Amino acid sequence: MTVRAGWQGRFYEDFEIGDVYRHPLGRTVETADNTWFTLLTMNTNQAHFNAQVGEGSEFGQRLVVSTLTLAIAIGQSVTDLTQNAFANLGLDAVKFSHPVFAGDTLWSESQVVAARESASRPDAGIVEVYTRTLNQDGAVVCSFERTFYVHKKGAARGASRFPTAEEPMPLIRAEPRS
């Protein structure tokens, strides 16, 4: 039996300037997501949670909170970008270029724009990316630049924390599938 590691994320050495990562998971924003986010963040602008206000707006419906859109975009990128990061250093040039509504599905992609070794941490590097988020129709709804610290391969602090099992994995099926 062979134990195969799951996706471990990228380390500093894996980032090449110009590479584009299309983050694999789309996310449909639900009304409940928007309502909870307004409550969690204490956003009292009624355009986000009051149907009458939303219907009376130029958009004709409630808007998704822009910072929820940003949070989803950053979350979508973790698998490809920051699984092995340990600090965000900056978020710049954030733009919300198209409204997002409940029912929209968001997709994000990121391009590596810079990478350099850390002067103060020999086991880490600093990576800068440009990320944009599209809705289901391909309209860019959000874009931003992000800078983060990421571990290098072999860095002790970047090592997996998966525990060693007290017992070996049982072999459940020894027959090949047909």
Q: Are 63 and 54 in contact (CB under 8 A)?
A: yes
In a domain, 170, yes or no: no
In a domain, 165, yes or no: no
Q: How many helices (H) and strands (E) does the chain have?
A: 3, 6
Q: Are 127 and 83 in contact (CB under 8 A)?
A: no
pLDDT of residue 101: 97
State pLDDT tens for residues 21-38: 999 999 999 999 999 999
Longest dimension (CA), the chain: 64
In a domain, 161, yes or no: no
In a domain, 88, yes or no: yes
pLDDT of residue 68: 98
pLDDT of residue 126: 98
Mean pLDDT of the chain: 93
State pLDDT tens for residues 80-129: 999 999 999 999 999 999 999 999 999 999 999 999 999 999 999 999 99
Q: Residue 122's domain is classified under what CATH number?
A: 3.10.129.10
CA–CA distance, 3 with 98 (Å, rounded to integer):
45
Domain that holds residue 58: 12-153
pLDDT of residue 162: 81
pLDDT of residue 77: 97
State pLDDT tens for residues 139-174: 999 999 999 999 999 888 878 888 888 998 887 876
pLDDT of residue 1: 63
Query: Is residue 3 very low, low, confident or very high in pLDDT (cuts 50, 70, 90)?
Result: confident
In the 8-state DSSP scheme, what is residue 57? Answer: S
In a domain, 160, yes or no: no
In a domain, 96, yes or no: yes
Query: What average pLDDT does the segment 4-14 reach?
Result: 88
Structural domains of the chain, count: 1
In a domain, 98, yes or no: yes
List the Cα angle 28/29/32 in 5-degree steps. Answer: 135
Residue 101 has a CB neighbour count (10 Å cut-off) of 16
In a domain, 71, yes or no: yes
